Amino acid sequence: MARDRSVYAPDMPGYGESDPPPHRPAIADYAAAMVDFVDAMRFREIDVLGHHTGALVATELGILRPEQVRRVVLVSVPVFNLEERETFQARSQQATLTEDGANLLREWQRQVQGRGPGSTLEDCAEGFAERLQSGANASWGAHAAYNYAANERLPLLRQPVLVIRPKDEMWDAAQRARQMLRSARLVDLPEQGAGILSAAPQLVAQHAREFLKS
């Protein structure tokens, strides 16, 4: 994507190299951090892409800054029903640190079992390391996602939206998101799965590029 446009990939608070917030944030708090980034960089117009929890942050950023956000690409959008919300909440609670390291084994098994086509063990190890780097608060992003009022917020997005839907655990959720959006194009990728950004980055870039240029 950076061949013909400027591309920025900021780490959200508490992830990657970014400092964690003092308290468990909501999606609105993550979006506010991205607003600070946009203002600090003095961007006049941007396109945004978000994956999983990041898709909700991208949505909120588009709502907050309609004059700056031109188009939005959402990958694997987590719009949960009640049953899914309870499942993901239980999973985040299992991430609590334990002296015997059982939580680490569970996280590694989740990474391996959830990998999609084309994802390697090296990709799993990278995701596992990222999870560990976030420490005891690694589940904060997931908690923000399953408490986000997607059915109220997504319809407020006015920009053209591209929803990319690989066959991962958000397959059904992303379809719900498409139904809530006023102006959205849906691309189904059933041959892809979890880890699509690692396993098939050129495919994601192809669809995003076509949408952003149209």
SS3 track for 55-93: HHHHHHHHHHCCCCEEEEEEECCCCCCHHHHHHHHHHHH
More confident residue, 39 or 109: 39
| Predicted pLDDT of residue 64 | 96
CA–CA separation, 178 vs 188, rounded Å? 11
Q: Which two tokens stand for residue 20?
A: 């964690």
Q: Catalogue all structural domains in the chain, each as residue range(s) with its CATH number.
A: 27-81+140-213 (3.40.50.1820)
Say if CB 88 and CB 80 are below 8 A apart.
yes
pLDDT for residue 94 is more than 60: no
| Predicted pLDDT of residue 72 | 97
* End-to-end CA gap in the chain: 15
Of 23-37, 39-53, 78-92, the range with the lowest mean pLDDT is 78-92
pLDDT range class, residue 204, cuts 50, 70, 90: very high
Percentage, residues of the chain above pLDDT 70: 98
Of 83-92, 150-159, 175-184, the range with the lowest mean pLDDT is 83-92
| Predicted pLDDT of residue 70 | 97
What is the three-class DSSP state of 26? coil
pLDDT for residue 73 is more than 70: yes
pLDDT range class, residue 85, cuts 50, 70, 90: confident
Mean predicted confidence (pLDDT) in 183-205: 93
R_g over Cα of the chain: 17
Mean predicted confidence (pLDDT) in 95-123: 80
pLDDT range class, residue 130, cuts 50, 70, 90: confident
pLDDT for residue 28 is more than 70: yes
Mean predicted confidence (pLDDT) in 143-147: 91
CA–CA separation, 1 vs 206, rounded Å? 9
Mean of per-residue pLDDT scores for the chain:
90
CA–CA separation, 199 vs 43, rounded Å? 30
Query: pTM for this structure?
Result: 0.89
| Predicted pLDDT of residue 189 | 96
Residue 78's nearest CA partner among 68, 92, 95, 99 is 92
144: Cβ contacts below 8 Å, ≥ 6 apart: 24, 25, 26, 27, 29, 30, 53, 56
| Predicted pLDDT of residue 163 | 97
Say if CB 154 and CB 59 are below 8 A apart.
yes
Q: Which two tokens stand for residue 57?
A: 């942050």
